[in-house]
Structure 1
Amino acid sequence: MLQGFAGMETTGHETDAVLIAIGVLIIIVAAFGCFGAWKESPKLLYIFAGCLIIIILLELSVGIAAAALRPQIEGTMKTQLRASFIKNKSTREEDSVYREFWDRVQSSLECCGVTGPENYGASEPRLKPSFSCCPPDNSDEVDEIKRSDCLSMEKYYKEGCEDKVLSTVHSAGLSVIVCGILFCFLEIAGIVLALWLAHSIKTEGKGRETA
């Protein structure tokens, strides 16, 4: 999402690799818990609990790092958004990706420009707001007439995209934080149950030896 809102082309391969790695890790960790419970092996259950503790520590470290880097990430996003907006105003064919990016952002987030539609005329080349700044028009008129009416009557969106992009990223980040907290509680429950089961198995084993 950060790469996409910075006007960068994203392939998704990095995300796929991370998800695959996480999936493999989850299978390995879960295997220790399953086989430990099935074979009644305290060692495997202790390994399972230890892996969960490591995962929780990693989650906490990532959360702390993300909180510490948040101002830097926001500053970088603002810089890249403004740089991509300048390229969006370019007429060069190689900059068409930035025009497509801004058209997509402005139409989906219902905003115009970085801080407002005045950004289009603030620096060279001085342009009128893009057609993507205009609200959807379901009339039967051709696009040229729709755009002309929108610009002449100033129907285009008045809010800038910078704040809306940051708000969208913050909302996504909040969802990740909530999910992370829920997973932490589940992992803590898994640690407690694994240790309890391992202790019960060891206690039962000693009881059999005594008997």
Structure 2
Amino acid sequence: MRNGFQQKMIAPKTDGKGNKFLAEFQKVEKKTCGSCGIGCCKGIVIFLCVIVILVGIVEIAACVTTALATKLFSSDLSGRLVSLIVLTVTAAVALSVGIYAVVGLFRKKRKALHVAGVVLVIMAIIQALICGLAIKITPKDDMTLAESLKESFKLASAGNPRHVKLWAITSSDLQCCGLYGPEDYRDPRVPPIFAPDVPISCCPTYNASKSDLVQETARETCRANRSFFDVGCGTLIKNVFRNSAAAVMATSIVLIVFEVILSFHVYIMYRVYKKQERRYKGEKETEEKKTVEAGGSSEQK
């Protein structure tokens, strides 16, 4: 199949220039596409585009989830939030460029491939800079998050509706209670023999869809049996932030690697199409020249 493709697209020339061009083109093809030909190169580019698109979707999901969690618990980590937004945008651009490259590949638009390769390299550079400077959680970020959690829990204890709901969802999802533990809800005037006045969200039976009366009954049962969660939410929330940052970092690195590899292979196809375009242009000019010469000879006769 490869030999047939070459015979059709790269027919040997009888003159010295044609043989020289054929040898040069085959040399470029061998260096860029290996032993499997142009069709194999196209397959590799399409495969890499699919990988970039899929990893880009994962990157967007990871960044959006982390950004929402950051926005909920801390308004002081605005720099990290901006970085996550930029990563989301660059991942969306890389995803779009992957689709654009596939279209350019099938339509043999070498300019589209050139643009796609350049944009992918730029996106990879931006993502690498952001990952190196802003994504990794530093001790300062840990302190900022700890202070934000304390302030949020204080507001929830004071009855702030937004923070009460936030901590109820957090307690239920992470199966934890309080900032450091259920003792955070203890009234200092109540003897330790009695259970702390934990909210229903600290209990395994919590169900937000049930009525307040049913939930209050379930809460009293939970307190009496001391079946509430005995782990504080502070450490778990920090772990979630660390894990989400690690997930964003990992997906970003994978995306950067495939963007670079894809840009390289896109450039290969750009060069191959450029060689073909020059060859076709040279053949057309040669045919026109022969036609003119043949016409001149006929007129002289």
Same fold by TM-score, threshold 0.5 exceeded?
A: yes
Counterparts of 1:52 and 1:98 in 2: how far apart (Å)?
Answer: 41
Tell me how large the CA RMSD over aligned residues is. Answer: 3.6
Distance 1:115 1:129, change over 3 A: same
Q: Give the match's secondary structure for 1:87.
A: helix
Letter in 2 for 1:52: L
1:158 is aligned to 230
Unaligned runs of 5+ in 2: 1-68, 77-81, 190-195, 208-212, 287-301
Which of 103, 106, 112 matches 1:34? Answer: 103
Residues 1-211 of structure 1: pairs in structure 2 closer than 5 A:
1-6=69-74, 23=92, 26-27=95-96, 30-31=99-100, 34-35=103-104, 38-41=107-110, 43-68=111-136, 70-91=138-159, 95-121=160-186, 128-136=197-205, 142-208=214-280, 209=282
CA deviation after TM superposition for structure 1 residue 184, in Å: 2.2
Identity of aligned residues (%): 19
CA distance in 1, matches of 2:96, 2:257: 19
Q: Structure 1 residues 188, 7: closer, same or farther in 2, change over 3 A?
A: closer
Partners of 1:70 and 1:161 in 2: how far apart? 20
Deviation of 1:135 (Å): 1.8
**Alpha-carbon separation, structure 2, partners of 1:102 and 1:174:** 24
Higher relative contact order (Cα pairs below 8 Å, separated by 6+ residues): 1
If the length of structure 2 is used for normalisation, what is the TM-score?
A: 0.55
Structure 1 residue ranges without an equivalent (≥5)? 9-13
Deviations 1:23-64 (A, max 9, x none): 4675367436633762442x4433221111100011111111
Cα distance in 2, alignment partners of residues 172 and 80 from structure 1 = 18
Q: How many Å separate the matches in 1 of 2:197 and 2:144? A: 27
Q: Which amino acid aligns with 1:121?
A: R
Residues 27 and 62 (structure 1), Cα distance of their counterparts in 2 relative to 1, 3 Å cut: same
On the 8 A contact 1:115/1:161 being kept in 2, the answer is yes
Pick which of 171-180 and 157-166 moved more: 171-180
